[in-house]
Amino acid sequence: MTDLLHIDHLTAGYGSIQVLHGVNLSLASGGRLALIGRNGVGKTTLLKAVMGLADVKAGEVRLDGQDITTWSARERAHAGIGYVPQTRDIFPSLTVEENLLAGLKDRPRSALDEAYALFPRLAERRQNGGQQLSGGEQQMLSVARTLLGKPRLLLLDEPLEGLAPIICIELMRAFEHLALNTGVAVLLVEQKVDDALRFAPRAVVLERGEVVHESESVALSQRKDLLERYVGVAGAH
């Protein structure tokens, strides 16, 4: 079976700055993969390279068997890649509903109900401006808007950063629901290692732009030495 996402010997960065060095990675349709490591090791750059927002120097990115290495971010979005950046990137001057409408692409307005079913908080605040939302609500809005485009592959860049524990739980439940019920594949970058390893059956550890470990998440959670060395935590609970 062809992987939905296949990254082969990818070297990428920004301009003359090289961040990733020969990265290999694959993710099947409906799969979940956690990408972990310390800050600054290239995790965000890898997501951006998949989305077409970083400069690829060598190697290739394939989506469902098709080479998309030279495609623009817009072309990749239309092909089914959804990206939720660390910065959230909502429109603060628009209401929740107007933000969601911007994510519909060619789908009918009634599809907004999908977003409100996934995040009831957004339904309660549909007429609130983006700037009136809490950080967690802004994150929900960013995720919901991306999902309305019906991606086959969802790239999540530290979605839990700076959020209250109860919001983190709500978001992770939503991601779990999506993975189990919609068939969307999820590549998750997350500093909260416990949450990442519980969510994704497989995990990849990055260090200085290279993959230094790949295994089942359960096995990695028991490797306190690896987690201490490459992530700075003693292990998942």
Domain boundaries, the chain: 5-230
Cα distances (Å, whole numbers) of residue 85 to 71, 106, 219? 19, 22, 28
Q: 5-230 domain in CATH 2.60.120.620?
A: no
Tell the burial category of 233 from Cβ atoms under 10 Å away from its Cβ (0-12, 13-18, 19+).
Answer: middle
pLDDT of residue 66: 96
Cα distances (Å, whole numbers) of residue 236 to 18, 20, 35? 31, 26, 15
Residue 190's identity, in one-letter code, is: E
Q: How many CB atoms lie within 10 A of CB 104?
A: 17
Q: H helices of 55-192, where? A: 73-79, 96-101, 112-118, 120-124, 135-147, 165-181
Is pLDDT above 80 for 235? no
This prediction has a pTM of 0.92
Spatial neighbors of 115 by CB under 8 A, at least 6 apart, are 100, 122, 144, 145, 147, 148
Tokens 């416990």 locate to 194
Tokens representing 90? 């909502």
Is pLDDT above 70 for 33? yes
CA nearest 8: which of 58, 48, 72, 60?
Answer: 60
Pick the range with the lowest mean pLDDT from 16-25, 60-69, 110-119, 174-183: 174-183
Tell me the mean pLDDT in the region 211-230. Answer: 94
Are 95 and 35 in contact by the 8 Å Cβ rule? The answer is no
CA nearest 178: which of 204, 213, 143, 223?
Answer: 143
Is pLDDT above 80 for 217? yes
Q: How many CB atoms lie within 10 A of CB 127?
A: 10
